[in-house]
Amino acid sequence: TIGTIADQFLFNAFVVGGFVRDLLLRKANIDLDIVVEGDGIAFARKLGQHLGGRVREHERFGTATIILPQDLKIDIATARLEYYEYPAALPTVELSSIKLDLYRRDFTINAMAIQLNPEHFGRLVDFFNSQNDLKQMAIKVLHNLSFVDDPTRIFRAVRFEKRMDFTIARHTERLIRNAVKMNLFGKADDPRFFTELKLLLNEENASPALERLAELGLFPFLWPDLKPHLSIDRRFRHCLVQTQRSIAWFKLLYLTDRYEPWIIYLLTIMSRSSMTVLANFCDRFQLPQRNRTMLLSEKQLADNASHHLSARSELKNSDIFVAFRELHIEGLLYLMAVARKTEVKKAVSAYVTTLRHQAPLLNGDDLKQLGYRPGPPFKKMLEALLLARLDGLTSTRDDEIAFLND
């Protein structure tokens, strides 16, 4: 379809980037990035109409996104024809625009295209020896200024290296180290730094990627308050492994529950930092308000809960419930990873697997039938019933009625 519509417009159309990389690696990838040599927006409108999708246009960049049912989306970009005027009488050269588009990308492995026009359907466009780098499992930039153009690519290099078990090529690694040394990162005010860090921390196993970031000297940029040795010391490594374990444990038990791993990792990394330091991090990297609020409140609640529970000699189920009830899964798994006391870890486990799902046997309707009048005290009564049940003081409805009468 895409190729046929492109033909109607007399454009060349290509699928590019990660989709092609993953196709050659035989990995699933549902994000389609299309580049057309022509008016991308007009093309997107037509294609959107044809596929029955909604089209979001970004006029300024000549890009558009077609949103299809079931979270499917197609990004469309325009590769502009560029003409290079040579001085004197030499002719103007038209550089193939798809080539220029691909040359501006991050790494060779992401710089291939597959043509979609029916006549050339499936033709692999590989100007930069990308297939070879894919075979060699190498992450290579296309030119020396790549990280100067876009320092967020450093995070991408590490993310791809660890995800696919590739290696950042020697020269590319040198360029990264130079970029870091030249303090290219003085400013963190590009919101894409956070976007990329988040993507890295949401990968299947973020620990090796974090160690790599530390080794490439990025920790002082990300977390200036962590003492240099702290960034890679044993305790820190241990916490990362524990984080990975607690996430894996939760995933195994609750396959379909949603949570955001990056929050757990960030909380772990900054577990010994103050609230002010965490707030500064959020400001520096321009986190959306929603993320900022979540991080700060989970840290506060989790640290308080841990403090509170550690001070107790004997833990009742109701203590655990009250300490944890406002926490999200992210805060709970963070606590499970960093808590030093086994009792606290056990408490998180008990809460996540059983306590949080408990409810009293009587409900609001039962209370009404028993002659209690609805109102704010209702909530208190139900809570008292729940806590009693958690501590084993009641186990039947009659127990609960008796408990209310006491």
Q: Which residues bind ligand CTP (CB under 6 A)?
A: 17-18, 31, 33, 105-106, 110, 150, 152-153, 156
Shorter beta-carbon distance to ligand CTP: residue 18 or 38: 18
Minimum CB–partner distance for residue 206 and ligand CTP (Å): 14
Place of tokens 């100067």: 148
Tokens of 95: 């550089």
Which residue lies nearest ligand CTP, judged by its C-beta?
A: 18
H/E stretch holding 18 reads helix 18-24
Q: Where are the beta strands (DSSP E) in 111-245?
A: 113-115, 124-125, 138-139, 167-168
Torsion-angle region of residue 312: left (phi > 0), alpha (psi -120 to 50) or beta? beta
Shorter beta-carbon distance to ligand CTP: residue 18 or 217: 18
Distance CA 111, CA 172 (A): 16
Shorter beta-carbon distance to ligand CTP: residue 127 or 403: 127
**CA–centroid distance for 135 within its chain:** 27
Minimum CB–partner distance for residue 252 and ligand CTP (Å): 24
Shorter beta-carbon distance to ligand CTP: residue 27 or 341: 27
Tokens of 304: 């308080």
Minimum CB–partner distance for residue 150 and ligand CTP (Å): 5
Shorter beta-carbon distance to ligand CTP: residue 106 or 400: 106
State how far the alpha carbon of 120 is from the alpha carbons of 3, 81, 99, 199, in Å: 9, 20, 16, 35
Minimum CB–partner distance for residue 269 and ligand CTP (Å): 21
Shorter beta-carbon distance to ligand CTP: residue 108 or 317: 108
Which residues, at least 6 apart from 387, have a Cβ–Cβ distance to it below 8 Å?
318, 321, 322
Pairing of strands 82-84, 73-78: unpaired
Number of H helices, E strands in the chain: 21, 11
Shorter beta-carbon distance to ligand CTP: residue 105 or 299: 105
Minimum CB–partner distance for residue 65 and ligand CTP (Å): 12
Pairing of strands 32-36, 73-78: parallel
Shorter beta-carbon distance to ligand CTP: residue 193 or 324: 193
H/E stretch holding 95 reads strand 93-95
CA atoms within 13 A on the CB side of 87: 0
Minimum CB–partner distance for residue 104 and ligand CTP (Å): 7
Distance CA 249, CA 48 (A): 42
Shorter beta-carbon distance to ligand CTP: residue 154 or 278: 154
Minimum CB–partner distance for residue 247 and ligand CTP (Å): 19
Minimum CB–partner distance for residue 236 and ligand CTP (Å): 26
Minimum CB–partner distance for residue 153 and ligand CTP (Å): 5
Distance CA 312, CA 309 (A): 5
Place of tokens 């696919």: 164
Tokens of 217: 């000297």
